[in-house]
Amino acid sequence: MRIRQVAAAFLTSVFLAMPVMAAAVAPPALVLAEVYRNAIDPAGYWVSEKLDGVRAYWDGKQLYFRSGHPVPAPAWFTRDFPAIPLDGELWLGRGGFERLSGIVRKTEPVDAEWRRVRYMLFELPGAEGTFTARKDRLKQLLEHAGIPWLQAIDQYRVADRKTLLADLDKVVAVNGEGLMLHRADAPYSSGRSDDLVKLKHYLDSEAKVIAHLPGAGRNAGRLGALLVEDPGGRRFRIGTGFSDAQREAPPPVGSLVTYRYRGLTAKGLPRFPAFLRLREAF
C-alpha cells in the first residue's frame, strides 16, 4: 500500500512539474551505435569517450532532442551556431547526467545553469566524405565559430584491441561510461551499423515498467523490484541498482528505464540486470 501511495504522489508531482514541451517534429534520422564485437578491428576506427549526456541535433536553425522535441535552450546558447546540421551530446561532465536532465527539461531555461552546459559534437549529418573528412571539417568549422560551449569530442586512433581495452579501463577508472568507435572510411549513413560502435564493461538496454513488486527485510514497505518488459515482450525483474530515494518513489508504471546486464541467459533474458536510470522522454 505504501508503495502505491508513494508512487501516486510521485506521479502527481511529476505531472505538476513536467514542462509543456513545444511541438515535436519527426525524430531526426541519426547514426546509431551497434555494440562492439571482438571481430571488429579497432585500427580502422577513430576512438572517443562515450559521454553520459543528452543527444541533441542541430538542423541549422533549431536544436532538437533525439525524440524530435525542440530543446528549450536559451537563445544565446544557439544564436551563433553554424547554419548546417550538427550532431552531438549536451554534457555537464562525467557523472553529470541527472543534473543535466533537470537543466535541459525546463521550458524556462535558467541562464546560470546553461552556462555550465557544453554541446559536444561528433558528426556532420548528411555531409559528404568519409568520417575522417567530416571530423576534420567539423574541427575547422568550430575553430572558425569560436563558441566556447560548442566543442568537438576528441578523436584518436589505436593500433589494436589490447590498446583499446586498456583505454577503456582508463576511462572507466575516472567515472567515464565507455568508448565510441567511428569507422574512419565510412560515409554518412543514418541508422544502426558497424560504422559506429560502443564499447563498455557492461551491456545496457531499455525496458518498460509493468509493476512495482514489494520488498522485504530492509526494503519492507517500499520497492523490492521492478517487473519490466523488453521490446520483444519478455518480462523479468530488476531488483538492484536503486537508491533509497528511488525505492521510496520508484519509476512510474508505464515509464521506460535503462538497465545494465551481463549477457543473456539460455532463455534470452538479461543476466544480472541492474537499474541505471529512468529514461527521460526528451
CATH superfamily, region 31-199: DNA ligase/mRNA capping enzyme (3.30.470.30)
Residue 191, sorted as left (phi over 0), alpha (psi -120 to 50) or beta, turns out to be left
pLDDT (0 to 100) of residue 13? 43
* Residue ranges per structural domain of the chain: 31-199, 202-278
- Under 8 Å between Cβ of 28 and 125: yes
Residue 188 has pLDDT above 90, yes or no: yes
Residue 282 has pLDDT above 70, yes or no: no
Strand residue runs (E) in the chain: 31-35, 45-50, 54-58, 63-65, 86-91, 118-123, 150-152, 178-183, 191-199, 203-214, 223-229, 235-238, 256-261, 274-278
- Under 8 Å between Cβ of 220 and 167: no
pLDDT (0 to 100) of residue 185? 98
Of 23-27, 143-147, 264-268, the least confident: 23-27
Neighbours of 215 (CB within 10 A): 17
Which set of grid coordinates corresponds to residue 245? 530515494
Which CATH number does 202-278 carry? Answer: 2.40.50.140
Query: What does the pLDDT look like over 65-77, one tens digit per residue?
Result: 988 999 999 999 9
Question: What is the chain's Cα-based Rg?
Answer: 20
**Residue 73, CB-side half-sphere exposure with 13 Å CA sphere:** 27
pLDDT (0 to 100) of residue 22? 53
What amino acid positions are annotated as catalytic residues? 50
- Under 8 Å between Cβ of 239 and 229: no
